[in-house]
């Protein structure tokens, strides 16, 4: 299995945080990547809810149940809510990954799932 890799890019002009995920993530990996993402969001200096976030999970391995639950609990954590994006889109082409992402909707029902990047970005940047 490939090691977990997270790359974060900030597009300040569009208030867009792009997160590219690849490899195999454990629940512990989800914790450190969550901290990196929080730091990136805070670096924007925006009020809560002004940015949008795009997760590219096209190269992400299917995660163990414990990882999905850890990510879901991070989304549900009240201390994280002030950092929530106005919109969240996740790109994946895997049917199993789509099922796992749907479980994240238990904590944040408005997560949108896309197969293609262009459609996800268009949705995120629409008013």
Q: What is the pLDDT of residues 22-66, one digit of tens each?
A: 999 999 999 999 999 999 999 988 887 899 999 999 999 999 999
Beta bridge partners, 56, equal 20, 91
In this prediction, residue 49 carries a pLDDT of 82
Q: What is the largest CA-CA distance in the chain?
A: 40
Provide the edge-to-edge strand list for the sheet that holds 16-23.
5-11, 16-23, 52-60, 87-91, 112-114
In this structure, of 2-6, 48-52, 70-74, the range with the lowest mean pLDDT score is 48-52
In this prediction, residue 79 carries a pLDDT of 86
Domains of the chain plus CATH, in order, are 5-125 (3.30.750.24)
Q: What are phi and psi of 9, to 5 degrees?
A: -125, 135
Whether the Cβ atoms of residue 52 and residue 15 lie closer than 8 Å to each other:
yes
pLDDT digits (tens, 9 = 90+) for 81-95: 778 899 999 999 999
């Amino acid at each position: 299995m490939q090691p977990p890799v997270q790359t974060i890019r900030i597009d300040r002009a569009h208030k867009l945080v792009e997160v590219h995920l690849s490899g195999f993530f454990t629940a512990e990996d989800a914790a450190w990547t969550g901290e990196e993402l929080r730091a990136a969001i805070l670096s924007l200096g925006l009020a809560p809810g002004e940015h949008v976030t795009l997760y590219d999970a096209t190269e992400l391995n299917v995660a163990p149940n414990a990882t999905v639950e850890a990510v879901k609990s991070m989304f549900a954590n009240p201390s994280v809510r002030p950092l929530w994006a106005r919109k969240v889109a996740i790109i994946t082409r895997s049917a199993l990954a789509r099922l796992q992402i749907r479980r994240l909707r238990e904590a944040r029902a408005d997560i949108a799932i896309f197969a293609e990047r262009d459609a996800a970005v268009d949705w995120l940047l629409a008013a």
